[in-house]
Amino acid sequence: MAKVFVTTKEKDANVKIFNCSKEKDADLHFFKVEKEKDAKGDALWFFVEKEKDATIKVFWVEKEKDANIKVFRVDKDRNAKWNKSNAWTARLE
């Protein structure tokens, strides 16, 4: 399950992510779940407050070229999935 902690320092992150403005440009379409138990796989994310509770630590980058993964937040869990091949596939849980 993807329990995500957002770091404030790039060096503390496992992965750098970029928020795409267009769905078609993203490697991964993710959905933010409200309950920890609903976080599953790489695409259903539950954001945690404490680093120790996370399965993955991310840092939001401002430039697309600096990202390991380009993401787009979808509004329905059924639309959350990998959109493009990426070295991080199945590694966020």
pLDDT digit string, tens, across residues 7-55:
999 999 999 999 999 999 999 999 999 999 999 999 999 999 999 999 9
Q: Is residue 48 part of a domain?
A: yes
Q: Is 40 domain-assigned?
A: yes
Ramachandran category for residue 41: left, alpha or beta (phi over 0 → left; psi -120 to 50 → alpha):
left
In a domain, 58, yes or no: yes
**Phi and psi at residue 4, in whole multiples of 5°?**
-105, 130
SS3 track for the chain: CEEEEECCCHHHCCEEEEECCCHHHCCEEEEECCCHHHCECCCEEEECCCHHHCCEEEEECCCHHHCCEEEEECCCHHHCEECCCCCCCCCCC
For residue 32, what are its two tokens?
A: 């933010």
- Would 85 be classed as within a structural domain? no
Burial class (CB in 10 A: 0-12, 13-18, 19+), 3: middle
Residue 26 within a domain: yes
Residue 12 lies in domain: 2-79
Count structural domains, the chain: 1
Q: Does residue 53 lie in a domain region?
A: yes
Does residue 86 form part of some domain?
no
Over residues 39-51, the pLDDT tens digits come to 999 999 999 999 9
